[in-house]
Structure 1
């Protein structure tokens, strides 16, 4: 009794019975991570209300800046007050028409000289110039914790966005949190603010790092995993107002050892794309393919784009909705995904294949530019282009196929080789060399027609409207062309 215990950053303690706290208990944190504790039984003792749980937060890389770095945090104890925070701390009010990136709108400054009690499960935005370690002092949160969220239904893009946080002094399994029946009122995505630590002098890569059941993608290269750290705040989108719940069964001893979980690892094919400006402003998106996904919006596998970078935003499109993660069924031979971007200033840009997961060498990944009428094989090339400031939703299409469209970009192809007649019911290919092989594929990868030419022209009548890929090859060339058949 009366002894002190400090749990170092990165270490975990699981108490199978009752925990009696008569002395000092400190959960340490540094730049490597946080300590965690899980108590299966009751918690009591003379010093139960004075437990210290630390949370390390980084500072800006630009010491001349006074704007600092923003972090989203949440108290893992009950009874902590705003005195724990730096000079600038904010809460976000979804019911106030606002912009999440506008500090003067729905954000409310709470460091006003009075000690305000911090609420378990609520997220707080803090701003600090120098690295520091926050100390939350109070009683360890345990048991089921309800967290209210709102959707003010005002018809604004900001409807439903709420900042919440992990209320426990241990990690939480994000999959168990998202799939809990009580939490079906939110989309299945967690958004983490990923500051570029420039202190406002650059803001080139800051954005919301996004996680859902299909994977994660981050604006600053930091991608979250399926475990929410202790003290971490994040954003969710509520479809309606109501209460979310955190349960003891969602806790994990560390970021990988759940107390109880029946979940199986999903097999997911992933394609990560990155768009970069000439002054190194970056943004990313993820295309995922898995068995459980559909071509419609999937709550667990598709993520709306929450734009945190006013300079550059890169996304895919589904029914004109901007997505940072888009998932599709894995049983297709070909995919075509519309891509879009928002940029603040005109300039030169690049789009590249940043990385892939579980994509074999037989997959071909092409970027189609409808303005220049070119296809670029992103497996081995980076696409460069110029663009004016503003929004574009109809310039780029990403094609993922099981076959090669061409050995060269379409800019090298004689566009007179393929001609689509005006009635949109058939194609006529002219100027063919003898023994040219012709193959026509639909967007599901099915070959609808194959032939070998014995004369200089080829005509084919289509049964259905749609988008088709035509491949023409012989010993001298291998070219491809996309055609759109639409009755007029």
Structure 2
């Protein structure tokens, strides 16, 4: 270091040069007699090497004669006109403390770890040689690194891929860089393979993608997708001001979760570069469904380019010309590894209503998992439209499975995950302060960073089938499934979690659904709200024996088919130690759902109050033990198909309905007297339920056995 300084006649007579490399200042040079005419000093800094922290210099001048004395750093005329020059070069010290070289069979200094520089001077396959953890990694020229399914490579800092070297990452493999400032020097080939999962049954099923590499275009990444069925989503254009009825262009007030004029989805050309963090949707070419093999199919897609790495910012938008709709944005995991969904939500949903930049999205993630057939009666902008019920949802209350019975992967720390290459939807919060606003369009930003990335290989399998289990956890959570033999699958979650209330808390705790006018759907309700919920968060203290959970049900399948309601899984002290009952208010039946599934049938339509979940057995009927009140209601079978129904009071029979034990209505009669006889032909032997409504409004249900 060259430094020139002087003092006034009464200025400081002594000066020290001090340095701090991270543990406090120490003196490296002392001038015991500072000259008023100026001095040039050269200080040797060669002893300071291998320092990874910031170096701070300071000059401490003292021993002045009077308070008004001065000390000046003079200008040097050559070469910079500044009074301090540090000569020589500053070389950044490697953060790696050792080096290990792979020769094809062994590591030169032992298996590397996150403090070791790893060099591959031979081919390396993680399936046979194991996962790699390294401080930095070099794949030498002409060699291959293969990261197979269920394995990973984790690099703390930098990656170098030399000329003619190759890295291949299988669909369920993972490559993770930890330092956001880590570099990728890329002169060879990097390829990330992704296989469609869950498997697709039909050519019209869409997959949601996001590119894990830099610079890949649509033709390269989505090569085998149908060329006119590759889309991106324009959030600026999404506007849901009215609700369509029955996909017939007639509208009513409210929202149906569909863009009003259909300009939200846009076809993308093959030369379009897939931007990091942006979601893309595609349909596989129908040729792939002609065989070999049979459905369900899985198709392989390949993305080539340098890995995306570090902080990635993705713009998001909301159209404020309507404030009652959901401001959807289609984004995706930009990395060649899974990310922790909970860390992603924590970083992006901490919303401030007064300061821009603190968070922009509601705390929910929506993952597409198609199961319901496209229908002409489902609202949308096409002749046939998919059902919005088929999304798997993650929020602060929990997660639900998608339309095909699959759910997001869970990490070893119990957090949820989003796999590499996965596109998904989030919602720009109406309460967030935007970065900028142009007209009705407000802009925010989504941030991804390396701290969200995980090496947990199970998390990178896209989705896995949910399993029934009973787990004791702090939070009581109950998952209920609606299924049928014709492929209906719907799941809801009721979760008693900290932060939630019994009111509508928004998507962070209460995730809505919009059942299509096709198929069948299950949902929960909140108070007088007309919203339907796939996930409902509730206050922790509200779960007790008096708790009532209202369930709604829609059925738009014309054929009469049996449905099943069942507990998929549950957790928590209360739910593990109390019986879960299902009340069928239509049949006046209470069923022990903890002991077994409940089967029923239904007419078409929407039924907002047919079912309730309760936690104590009330004075209602059960399928196994139906109360026979002989004095109130009698059933008399005659030798023929004639049956007499008779009340034991002055009340008359207003109506009588006959149900089988699946809940299917087999006969319906109108009455008017206290005793009515009807002909009931073609009824099989077995147990039936007769539900009588009396003129007093009392409803009596009684078991009848056809012999």
- Tell me if both proteins adopt one fold, taking TM over 0.5 as the criterion: yes
* Matched ranges for 1:57-76 at <5 A: 57-58=196-197, 62=201, 67-76=203-212
Q: Distance in 1 between the 2:524 and 2:215 partners?
A: 43
Q: Distance in 2 between the 1:308 and 1:230 partners?
A: 30
Q: Indicate conservation of the 8 Å contact 1:167/1:230, yes or no.
A: yes
Q: Distance in 1 between the 2:150 and 2:257 partners?
A: 32
Name which of 234, 240, 245 aligns with 2:424.
234
Q: Indicate conservation of the 8 Å contact 1:208/1:306, yes or no.
A: no
* Matched ranges for 1:246-265 at <5 A: 246-254=448-456
Q: Distance in 1 between the 2:206 and 2:576 partners?
A: 41
Q: CA deviation at 1:283?
A: 1.0
Q: CA deviation at 1:212?
A: 1.9
TM-aligned CA distance change 1:166 to 1:368, over 3 Å: same
Partner of 1:249, secondary structure, is helix
TM-aligned CA distance change 1:296 to 1:417, over 3 Å: farther
Instruction: Pick which of 67-76 and 353-362 moved more.
Output: 353-362
Q: Indicate conservation of the 8 Å contact 2:331/2:426, yes or no.
A: yes
* Matched ranges for 1:34-73 at <5 A: 34-40=173-179, 41-47=181-187, 50-58=189-197, 62=201, 67-73=203-209
- The residue that corresponds to 1:220 in the other structure is 404
Name which of 366, 388, 396 aligns with 2:611.
396
Q: CA deviation at 1:124?
A: 0.8
Q: Distance in 2 between the 1:377 and 1:161 partners?
A: 40
Partner of 2:406, secondary structure, is coil
Q: CA deviation at 1:409?
A: 2.3
Q: Distance in 2 between the 1:108 and 1:333 partners?
A: 46
CA-to-aligned-CA distance 1:122-170 (integer Å, 9 cap, x gap):
1111111543222222222122211222222454876312211111122
Instruction: Pick which of 132-141 and 21-30 moved more.
Output: 21-30
- The residue that corresponds to 1:279 in the other structure is 486
Q: Distance in 2 between the 1:25 and 1:295 partners?
A: 55
Q: Indicate conservation of the 8 Å contact 1:76/1:120, yes or no.
A: yes
TM-aligned CA distance change 1:237 to 1:59, over 3 Å: closer
* Matched ranges for 1:173-192 at <5 A: 173-180=340-347, 181=350, 184-192=359-367
Q: Distance in 1 between the 2:154 and 2:583 partners?
A: 53
Q: CA deviation at 1:236?
A: 1.2
TM-aligned CA distance change 1:357 to 1:15, over 3 Å: same
Q: Distance in 2 between the 1:59 and 1:358 partners?
A: 29
- The residue that corresponds to 1:458 in the other structure is none
Q: Indicate conservation of the 8 Å contact 2:364/2:511, yes or no.
A: yes
TM-aligned CA distance change 1:273 to 1:60, over 3 Å: closer
Name which of 535, 544, 549 aligns with 1:333.
544
Partner of 2:344, secondary structure, is helix
Indicate the structure with greater strand content: 1
Q: Distance in 2 between the 1:183 and 1:228 partners?
A: 22
Q: Distance in 2 between the 1:149 and 1:310 partners?
A: 32
Name which of 347, 357, 361 aligns with 2:571.
357
- The residue that corresponds to 1:442 in the other structure is none
Q: Distance in 1 between the 2:324 and 2:167 partners?
A: 42
1:19 lines up with 2:159 in the alignment: yes
Q: CA deviation at 1:198?
A: 8.2
1:409 lines up with 2:622 in the alignment: yes
CA-to-aligned-CA distance 1:161-204 (integer Å, 9 cap, x gap):
22111111222111111112357432211111113498999x99
Name which of 281, 287, 295 aligns with 1:125.
281
Runs of 4+ aligned structure 1 residues displaced above 6 Å come to 98-104, 197-201, 203-206, 414-418
TM-score (norm 1): 0.72
- The residue that corresponds to 2:368 in the other structure is 193
Q: Indicate conservation of the 8 Å contact 2:147/2:173, yes or no.
A: no
TM-aligned CA distance change 1:285 to 1:164, over 3 Å: same
Q: CA deviation at 1:111?
A: 4.8
Partner of 1:244, secondary structure, is strand
Q: Distance in 2 between the 1:27 and 1:307 partners?
A: 42
- The residue that corresponds to 2:36 in the other structure is none
Q: Distance in 1 between the 2:345 and 2:631 partners?
A: 52
* Matched ranges for 1:362-401 at <5 A: 362-399=577-614, 401=615
Q: Distance in 2 between the 1:310 and 1:317 partners?
A: 20
TM-aligned CA distance change 1:307 to 1:292, over 3 Å: same
TM-aligned CA distance change 1:60 to 1:102, over 3 Å: farther
Q: CA deviation at 1:8?
A: 1.6
- The residue that corresponds to 1:90 in the other structure is 231
Q: CA deviation at 1:220?
A: 1.6
Q: Distance in 2 between the 1:325 and 1:46 partners?
A: 44
Q: CA deviation at 1:229?
A: 1.1
TM-aligned CA distance change 1:110 to 1:71, over 3 Å: same
Q: CA deviation at 1:303?
A: 1.7
Partner of 1:163, secondary structure, is strand
1:172 lines up with 2:339 in the alignment: yes
Instruction: Pick which of 233-242 and 192-201 moved more.
Output: 192-201
Instruction: Pick which of 212-221 and 148-157 moved more.
Output: 148-157
